[in-house]
Amino acid sequence: MHKPNSECPTHTPRPFMVSLLLRLTPCLAVGLLLLLFPLPAVAEKLTIDLIFGGKSLSGRTPHGVKISPDGHRVGFLRGRDDNQFQLDLWVYDVDQHKTRMLVDSKKLLPEERLTDAEKARRERARTAALHGILDYDWSPDGRKLLFPLGEALYLYDLQGKSGEAMRKVAEGAGLLDPKISPKGRYVSFVRDQNLFVIDLKSGAEIQLTKDGSGTLHNAEAEFVAQEEMGQRSGYWWAPDDSTIAFKQYDESPVPVTKRFEVYPSRTEVIEQRYPAAGDSNVIVHLGLIRPTGGAVRWIDLGANSDIYLSRVDWLPDGKTVSFQRQSRDQKTLDLIAVDVATLTQTTLLTETSQTWVNIHDDLRFLKKQPAFIWSSERSGFNHLYLYGLDGKVMHPLTGGDWDIDNVLAVDESSGLIYISSNRDAVIDKQIYTVRLNGDSSQPTVRVSTGDGWHGASFAHDADKVSLYVESYSNPLTPPQTSIRGPDGRFLAWIEENKLDEHHPYWPYREALVTPEFGALQSEDGQALECRIYKPQNFESTKRYPVFITVYGGPGGQMVTRGWGDLFNQYKVQQGYVVFTLDNRGTPRRGRKFSDAIYLRMGDVEVRDQLVGIRWLKQQPFVDPARIGVFGWSYGGYMTVMMLAKASNELAAGVAGAPVTEWRVYDTHYTERYLSTPQLNAAGYDSSAVFGSLKGLTSPLLLVHGMADDNVLFLNSTQLMAALQTQGTQFQLMTYPGGKHGISTPAMKKHAYHMITNFLDEKLKPGESGK
């Protein structure tokens, strides 16, 4: 495992460069050596219109990769060469080594119209910018695929005759969350807040629930479950097709928030049941119903109705279903098993924390022994444990001062668990195997090769791992997608995406800058990972302006050794030094690192960012008077807080869609870190930007979408009013119809031109500095 040099003093050039030299990989070393050789006199440079245009400069990148259950095919979604946002359905044949488009989404549906519910769902799933086919589901025999498009569901038979392979199985506005049942007998979906199935043999459509309307929803995940808990579905099939477990929620207790969504030609008043911190949440229930219909059988979730139903999973035999119940304060998480026949319950385990318990997707019930895999941060780092169905720990599976990211697959036949982790370097993601028997003499084995960022997709619920699909990138390699054997050996390309003369980035390759990685030290001695880009024809005697990109919040790691943000490349090509630091509170570093923000946000995060800024100011190549910062969402909040608390250190800042008052953000996210306003009023006051706002004297550009339903536009209007009241000038750009991510290409181009112009005016990258 990589550790920063603890003897290097903070705020000096030495720790950053020593850490850099220790981390150089052959790939990065080659990239740095290339800088020693003369480059062409003129290298084509990136532009904002190119970066945010219809053509993906990163090349062809498959989305939604899923291996068929039989392992013979790999499905994926791919954007078009001329429009990266329009996704079509493709399949790769493993045996024949051939790729073909199955469904041309534009041909099947020339013009796509989305309901408001679907727009909101895509916003939750961070797919609002995409069009065409966004998801699909394999049949259990690997011969069919189910996918939604427009107001219809289609079933594609890979063995069907030409012209007859695809058929429409359901239609109507508002079809949500379609699935093929585990045994392939049914198609299921949600429509008008109720659960439906279609018997594929008879073609009969059966409405299973009928009371969904108004504030009562069946088989759907509520707002905070989608937004903050990673819960995209509200129903779960038993493995034998016998039963469906489904969530029902009643949102009548949630206060109605009225907000304006301003569009170019109209203004809509939206009444949304939005559970802000301290407010009432929805009331949840968990029901069981047969796919043939009949009465719902309700599972007792406990005497306290103020809970979160965070996960539901079936045991392999289909006779027992489990659910995870999280307390409102998120300090307790129970895993409970329910006998489907009798509804008798058994608590398998309870996780507790003095701060909060993180929800995860690492639960795996085994098929060949009465046991399950569970991840826990009880040691201070996220690790795996094997439990018996009696709730007793059999043995730890992993351990050490490093985190696992998630369980990827379990191969019981080989006795292996596949995981992703940052064990070898915090800035990387690698794929490893661990022994299911917990044998410490057979250590964790890394199966991925090459420093950088590795992702993996395995066949769902496969008994044995025969292959997996890997995605990989590093700072000099755009994302590549390949098929790998169980031991990580290369088998075939799905998308090599080689950076050659056919690649869309080829004309700009000579100006591609390799970042340097290192670590500084926080005031409590923890390592703060950093990344820095220096202009290509770097002159050590010249003083450059600095463009700092920040997120800084829970769940967001910015300093990674993957294919980078092209806007960072654009800024360094314009003459900036580009710098990023991951402060305490960000993930993948253990609980001491993440828990530093508990009960007060915007404090240690800013102090850590100032460690980076003060280190920068000591470098001979930095102009200390020309340092600016830019962030979006939590990064926007960080920008405002950094300017409010340290305008003497910063020349300017751009805040995109910032949270400014945590009392108006949602329950599950905010209360996890700050508790409730009723119990921690002082923490909410100090975490809001307004208590420090008089210190904001450096120029600020505020950017926000006027139809943002995540970080409500109210956050920015409150900030505007406060700045105006105290007489502080600032610049403002709002986007009619813009959601949280300013998702349309036109909006993105305009916003990033605006950001560039503002920072260029304030930081003057063309000047040499003093």
For the question of residue 241 being annotated catalytic, the response is no
Catalytic residue (choose from 360, 454, 740, 750): 740
What's the CA gap between 385 and 407, in Å, rounded? Answer: 12
Residue 190, SS3? strand
Find where tokens 């112009």 sit: 757
Number of neighbouring beta carbons within 10 Å of residue 450:
16
For the question of residue 70 being annotated catalytic, the response is no
Task: Give the residues across from 131 on adjacent strands.
Answer: 86
For the question of residue 376 being annotated catalytic, the response is no
Catalytic residue (choose from 633, 675, 698, 743): 633
186: Cα within 13 Å, side-chain hemisphere: 26
The alpha carbon of 511 is separated from its chain's Cα centroid by a whole number of angstroms, namely 29
721: Cα within 13 Å, side-chain hemisphere: 7
What's the CA gap between 69 and 143, in Å, rounded? Answer: 9
Catalytic residue (choose from 137, 334, 708, 709): 708
What's the CA gap between 547 and 571, in Å, rounded? Answer: 8
What's the CA gap between 97 and 94, in Å, rounded? Answer: 5
Residue 267, SS3? strand
User: Cα separations (Å) of 522 from 274, 584, 596?
Assistant: 37, 8, 11
Identify the DSSP state of 357: P
Helix or strand (DSSP H, E) at 567:
helix 566-573
The alpha carbon of 691 is separated from its chain's Cα centroid by a whole number of angstroms, namely 31
Number of neighbouring beta carbons within 10 Å of residue 216:
18
User: Cα separations (Å) of 71 from 363, 412, 568, 602?
Assistant: 23, 17, 39, 47
| C-alpha dihedral sign at 174, 179, 181, 186 | positive
Which one-letter amino acid corresponds to residue 543? R
Contact at 8 Å (CB) between 221 and 228?
no
Contact at 8 Å (CB) between 404 and 398?
yes
Helix or strand (DSSP H, E) at 638:
helix 634-646
Catalytic residues: 633, 708, 740
